[in-house]
Structure 1
Amino acid sequence: MTTALELDERYGRRRRSRASWIIGGAVAVVVIIIASWVTVSQSIDTVDADDLSFELVDERTVTVRFQVTTPQGRDMACAVEALDEEFGVVGWKIVQIPAADTPMQQLTATVPTVAQATTGLVNSCWPL
C-alpha cells in the first residue's frame, strides 16, 4: 500500500510546515490592519455637500443654497458652479467655510455669471 508521504515524494508535493502557516497568517493580519487604517484616515477628512436649492437672480447672477457635512474644527472650501442649459460652466466661485462646532452647516453662495445660467450647484468641497 502506498502512503501519503510516498505519494507526496513521487509527485513533488511538499507539506507546509506550521511556521509557514503562522507567518502567512501574520502577514494577512498586518495587511488587514493597514487597509483598515487607510480607510479610517481617509474618512476622517471626508466632506459631503448637498445642493438644497438655487435661484436665478438675474441674467448674470445665481444664488445657490447648499449644506455641507464637515469634520468639526476644520476650515473647508467648496467650488460652487453656475451652468447653462447645455451644462456648460458660465460662472464659478470658491467659498471659504470657517471651522464650526457643528458638523453640518447650511450656506448660501452668490455666483456671478458671464451668460444666462439655468442651474447652480456645488461641484466639490475639500479641507484646508
Structure 2
Amino acid sequence: MTEMQTTDGRVPRTADATFPDGRYGRRREAERRRPAVTAALTIVVVLAGLVAAWRLSELYGQNEVSERLLGFDDSVAGQVTVEFEVYKPAGEGATCAVRSRDMAGAEIGYAEVEIPADDATHVVMSYPLAVEGVPNTGEVLRCWQTD
C-alpha cells in the first residue's frame, strides 16, 4: 500500500493534492483587488450622504421661530379663536399657519397670520379664524421667519 494510514484507518489529507483536469470544472483565477476604486467609491458615497444631510437640515432643521398652541374657543358660530404664543428673534417678523378641522378631520378654515417685526422675542396672539362648518379643533401648524 502506497498511502499512509492513521491508526484508526483514515487517510490523511495532503496539501499538494491535485485534481484531474476537467473533472470539477474550470478553476477560477483569483480576482484582482482594486483598493483605490473601493476607497474612491466609499468617499463619494460618504460625501453624497453629508451633502444630503446638510441640505435636509437646512430645509427642515432647527427653526429660529417656534410656536405653541395655548388654546382655542369655538363658542362663536362661524369662527374659532385660536390663541398661541410665538418665540422669534428680536426685530424680525414671522408668519404662522393656523387651521381648524371638523369631526371628520376635514379642514374647514385656514389662514396665515402675520406677526409684525418688533423688538419682542415672545408674542402671544389671539386670532379669530373664520370656518365653514362645525369646528372641532383650532391648530397652529407651524411658524416661519418672514423675510
Q: TM-score, normalised by structure 1?
A: 0.64
In the alignment, structure 1 segments of 5+ residues that lack a partner are 1-36
Deviation of 1:49 after TM superposition, in Å, equals 0.7
The DSSP-based 3-state class of the residue aligned with 2:138 is strand
The DSSP-based 3-state class of the residue aligned with 1:58 is coil
C-alpha deviations, 1:84-107, integer Å up to 9, x for none?
112221001111001121211100
Residue aligning to 1:100: 118
The DSSP-based 3-state class of the residue aligned with 2:135 is coil
Residue aligning to 1:66: 84
C-alpha deviations, 1:37-63, integer Å up to 9, x for none?
98xx88785211100010013231100
Residues 1:83 and 2:101 are matched in the alignment: yes
| 1:1-128 matched pairs, under 5 angstroms | 45-128=63-146
Give the 3 Å change call, closer, same or farther, for CA 44–87 of structure 1 in structure 2.
Answer: closer
In the alignment, structure 2 segments of 5+ residues that lack a partner are 1-53
One-letter amino acid of the structure 2 residue matched with residue 58 of structure 1: V
Deviation of 1:76 after TM superposition, in Å, equals 0.7
Cα distance in structure 2, aligned partners of 1:72 and 1:89? 33
Q: TM-score, normalised by structure 2?
A: 0.58
Cα distance in structure 2, aligned partners of 1:102 and 1:96? 14
Cα distance in structure 2, aligned partners of 1:103 and 1:126? 14
C-alpha RMSD of the superposition: 3.5
One-letter amino acid of the structure 1 residue matched with residue 88 of structure 2: T
Deviation of 1:122 after TM superposition, in Å, equals 0.4
Contact 1:59 1:117 in 2 (8 A): no
Cα distance in structure 2, aligned partners of 1:127 and 1:48? 9
Identity between Structure 1 and Structure 2 (%): 29
